[in-house]
Amino acid sequence: MPTPKRKQPTPTSDKRPTRAEILKGIGWKPLSAGLLPEKLRKAENRRMQDEVVAWTLGLWDHMQTLKKTARSRKRATRRKA
């Protein structure tokens, strides 16, 4: 059985990711429910996207604050003579 291809990790940067980058990064595929009315399906897709994007951006902001506090806590160390 062939092994599935692994996605290459995206390079990290200090800029906040956009909605499109987040959805592309997780491989978002729209909901395909044949029995739902089109308007309801679009609304549910948007709601789910909003939830994923908000969670991801919240986590990204949290990680950035942790990075900043870790950098500020570093102290200069003295070398032993």
| pLDDT tens, residue by residue, 10-40 | 556 678 899 999 999 999 988 887 788 889 8
Q: Which residues contact 25 (CB under 8 A, 6 or more apart)?
A: 10, 17
Backbone region of residue 12 per phi and psi (left: phi > 0; alpha: psi in -120 to 50; beta: other values): beta
Please report the pLDDT score of residue 67 as a whole number.
83
pTM more than 0.85: no
Please report the pLDDT score of residue 14 as a whole number.
75
Please report the pLDDT score of residue 43 as a whole number.
92
Predicted confidence band at 1 (pLDDT cuts at 50, 70, 90)? low
